[in-house]
Each structure stands twice: as structure tokens, then as C-alpha cells.
Structure 1
């Protein structure tokens, strides 16, 4: 019987040989439509704009004299691209630079921009920064009202949008944050820890129900980008005219993933959070 699993090409969950030289072929694409169509999103008519912001903390290569170079990388993948970039393949790709020689930083940056854009199917922005340029940056926080310390009982740890409740249908502007988001990798089931920011104008959310809903992702298996879009769709369905959802996940293998989706604003200017 043929294996028609659309994710069978991924390295996740498999024993993997780490590359010893630069190899763009390590990158693997995952069609965003695989998750979007089941939750009512069509790529041709996205209900939001957005970007997947990645930070790479384990980036290195050799200069022409064989001297290791190190950098922090900032990658911006538009939500409008047809593919997301599978995280393990991204790590393997970055590792493929470790023992390869390049004449200058700009060459490495251009290569990464070309390869990641080809994988995502659209223009990806890449910025490599020297450690001296980021030393001294402070730990940041998301804006909004923290909803994590409510005295409530929680019993649901399986995804349930039915937990969401509204206090009033009169539209109000709201801005919330929680550090209690946890989901699991779609392939390996490894935990993904994150903080989430919700901002918009719509029916007044019951904050206890919002927290219960976010905690219900605790056993949910889905990629970071897909969880954020699911949260967006569930909240938008309640009647939000304006809505932003932004999650910042902790790093694994030297990479953190920070998906942002909104129909009215840019992402808040946030540097890394305490757990990043």
C-alpha cells in the first residue's frame, strides 16, 4: 500500500546524519494548505497578514582562512508563502555551514536568503548580526494584560475551542498575554513552550475561559505556525473585527519560532522573552 503521508519527506523523528558541508538540500518545505484548509483558510484569500519570525542562535561558518565566524540570525518568512519551513531541516541546513568556507558575511547572508526563499516559495528576509551588535540587549515582554494568575480550576488539556466564552457582544478593544501556551510537535510529540499575545476589537472575552482555552492546547499536536492560525480562526469566529495573535516559542536546537498573524497591525516590537 503506497505511503501517501504528505510529511513523509521530513527528517523529524528519524535518525539523521549531520551534514559536513554547505547543503541547501537539507531544507524541507511543508505546504501551509495542509493545515489551513481544515480550519477554513484558503491561501488565495488569507484572512490575515503576518510573518513567521525565526531567531537562530547557533550560526557559524569559516572565513577564507579557516577562522570560525559566529552570528545571530534573524529570519522573516511571510505568512503568504505557500510553504512553512520545517524546523529540523532548518537546523540541519544551518549546521551545514559549520565547516564550509565563505569569503564574507554578505555571501552567507545572500545564500541563506536565496535558499530559504526557494523553500518557502516567497521572499524571505535574512539578517546576520555579530555578537557585539546584540550584546547588552535586554529581555523583553509582550504587551497586554497577563491572564495567567487567575484563581480558576482547569481540567481540559485537549484542544477545545468550545471553552471560549464572551461576557458581552458589545465590541471593545482588548489586549491579553499568557505564558502558559504549550503544544506538541506534530511529528515527534516533543513539547513546544510559548507565550502568546492577543489584541483586537471584538466581543468582550471572559478571561477565565480564554485561559482555559489556551491551556487546552497542552496535548495538541501541531506546528507552531499552525497553532497560531488556529487560535486566530477560533477568536475571529467569535466576531472580532480586528485581531492579532502573536506567539513567541522557546528555542530548540538553537532556533526559536515566533509566528504573528493580524488583519490590522504590525507585530509589536518585542525582543527575546525571558525563556528565549
Structure 2
């Protein structure tokens, strides 16, 4: 899909993103706008951490906690992030008899938005796990040890990644990934982790340059994750591949899309230093 066509289709959705509004309903964005056809991953999910969720109890006392939301990558739509933040902010002024009532309301509304099953988890504020570290080779540190300057392409082109011999297993990550919102153009920073076994081994310096080239890409978080997965799956022909993107929070929420060729368990309560 051409960029202008994509922008026009997003504009037709009348999203709250990029607009001033008092509306607090949830906006759905069809996944088909960015996929265009068959997906190559078999498993995956989108995990949201809402760090400032809450409501009022029957006595009018604010209740606050960390809300985690997950839904499979097979849902027909994603929830647009600004609408979700406005929705959660509205709920902080609403009265609920119990935490269970709050969760039932959010689950019902989100499932209607994304068109599939949604799982929720609540953690008391201050009780979240300590940040964890990514495993494997840090790509920017690897690239920095080379003598020559890196050559970042104008756009991410996976065919520019040189391939080596067949590999057994690869685990690597980058902490300097950045893409841009397709509507506002605001930058989205995050960590990207890649786990691969079998297939051809990608040159790590080339792989780093490919990821950095996303700095000029305007796409949603989920779309970036799926492009990385599809590109590497077709180029390297691995037996198994997982791509996880852990984006920094904005407006109290962070989004973490994960795509894989193998079944995955959701890592509840996990976060990284930049989140």
C-alpha cells in the first residue's frame, strides 16, 4: 500500500489521534490496513502496560494500579493508543463497586473494539517486577567495535543484509530502535529483541543498519514488529523466529508486540529499564 493511500484510509477512520477531542470511546484500527495479505507468523500477541489505571471506590476514594492488557495478533483490529489512554483516564473518575467490576467493564469494551479475546492482569502500584535485561548480542555495541562508519540506508531493506552460513542459534537486540507515528509523526522509541534458530546467519552489522533505518518509517508499533518478522523470515529462512518489540511508554502506556513462529507465553509483570 502506498503511503498516501494509507494516510487517507487512516483519515477515514476519524481517529482521535492527532485531533483535539473530549470523546473517550475506544477507536479500532483494522490490522488489514498494514498487512495487505497473508501473515507469515503463526503466533503472537500485543501486550500493553497501563501504568496509571484506576477508578473510584464506593466511598469516592481513588484506587490506582498497573493494568496489563493482552490480546492475540489474530484479532481483526488493534486499539488505537490515544483513544485507550483517554478511555482509561475517563475511568479514573468513574465509581466501581469492586476491582472485578472494573476489569469486567474494560474487558467487555476492549473485546468489542479489537474483535477478539482480551486478557487482563492487575498489579498493585509499587509491586511491579524490577526491570530485566535483554539477552544476546547488543547490536549497537557490536557495530561500534568495527573500524568503519555504519551506512544507514534510506529505508529498511532486508536484502541489504549479507547472509553467512547456516547457523544453529542467534539471539540479539537493539536498544536504539525508533519509528514514527503514522498520523502525528512523533517518534516512538523502543527495544527490539530477535531470536532465531536455523537458516542463514545475518551479518549483525547489516542487521543493525536495517533496524536503524526504521527511523524514517511511519507505522504503528505492531506493523513495525510484523515487518521485521516477515523480512527476516523470508530473507534468512530460519526454522524458528521470534521478534519482540518493547516500546517506551507514552501518555502512561507502553505497547509490546511480539510475533513468532512458535507458541509463546505472555510474560506478565515484565518490563525493561526504558519502560
TM-score by length of 1: 0.89
**CA distance, structure 1, for counterparts of residue 122 and residue 270 of structure 2:** 15
For 1:266, the equivalent position in structure 2 comes to 264
Superposed, 1:90-129 pairs within 5 Å as 90-129=84-123
Structure 1's consecutive aligned runs of 4 or more residues displaced over 3 angstroms after TM superposition are 267-270
**CA distance, structure 1, for counterparts of residue 244 and residue 75 of structure 2:** 18
Shift in Å, 1:132: 4.9
Q: 1:221 to 1:90 in 2, by over 3 A?
A: same
Shift in Å, 1:154: 2.9
Superposed, 1:58-97 pairs within 5 Å as 58-97=52-91
Superposed, 1:1-276 pairs within 5 Å as 5-8=8-11, 9-17=14-22, 26-37=25-36, 40-42=37-39, 47-134=41-128, 137-149=129-141, 150-151=143-144, 152-168=149-165, 170-201=166-197, 202-238=199-235, 239-266=237-264, 269=267, 271-276=270-275
For 2:4, the equivalent position in structure 1 comes to none
Shift in Å, 1:7: 2.0
**CA distance, structure 1, for counterparts of residue 152 and residue 170 of structure 2:** 26
| Two-structure CA RMSD over aligned residues (Å) | 1.8
- Deviation readout 1:70-123 (Å, 9 max, x if unpaired): 010010011010101111111111011021111111100111111111111000
Shift in Å, 1:157: 4.6
More displaced 10-residue stretch of structure 1: 260-269 or 26-35: 260-269
More displaced 10-residue stretch of structure 1: 47-56 or 226-235: 47-56
Shift in Å, 1:47: 3.0
Q: How many matched pairs? A: 259
- Deviation readout 1:14-33 (Å, 9 max, x if unpaired): 1122x6xxx5xx10111101
Unpaired runs of at least 5, structure 2: 1-6
Partners of 2:69 and 2:118 within 8 A in 1: yes
Higher normalized helix content (fraction of residues): 2
SS at match of 1:116: helix
Partners of 2:58 and 2:96 within 8 A in 1: yes
Unpaired runs of at least 5, structure 1: none
